[in-house]
Homo-oligomer: A and B are copies of this chain.
Amino acid sequence: MSNNNLIKGSLQTIILKLLEENERMYGYEITQKVKELTAGEIKITEGALYPALHKLEADGLLTTEIEQVDNRVRKYYSLTKDGQKEVNSKMAELQGFVENLQRILNPTWNPGLT
């Protein structure tokens, strides 16, 4: 498996963005979605995911609904108003960082061509 190590700092943004697109999701579903979108190359570990979700909820960016599905408990997360605002700034921040990274690492790269 490739290096998940670089995910540091971007996990919150990933969670918020997926929830912007999907209305509501539960934890396990998020791990599967990321795995699917990256052809298995990025695997979100539970030890990283659940504390991150709890923190986002504590910060008032997410709310939860617990549901019983097939004798299993699911905790659905969705964006709050604050969470919806935060997605945009977090996304801009991360995309800006990636552009700067390309400027450092790809001297010939032109951001206009993306």
Chain A binding surface SS class? helix
How close is A4's CB to chain B, nearest CB, in angstroms?
8
Inter-subunit contact B105/A13 (CB<8 Å):
yes
Identity of the chain B residue whose Cβ is nearest the Cβ of A90 in the assembled complex: B3
Inter-subunit contact A105/B96 (CB<8 Å):
no
Segment from A34-42, A51-59, A60-68, A70-78 that makes contact with B: A34-42
What are the interface flags for A10-29 relative to B under an 8 Å C-beta threshold, 1 for contact and 0 otherwise? 10011001100100000000
Besides A3-B97, A6-B93, 10 new A-B residue pairs in contact (Cβ under 8 A), listed by A number: A8-B9, A14-B105, A21-B107, A37-B104, A41-B96, A94-B101, A94-B105, A98-B102, A113-B113, A113-B114
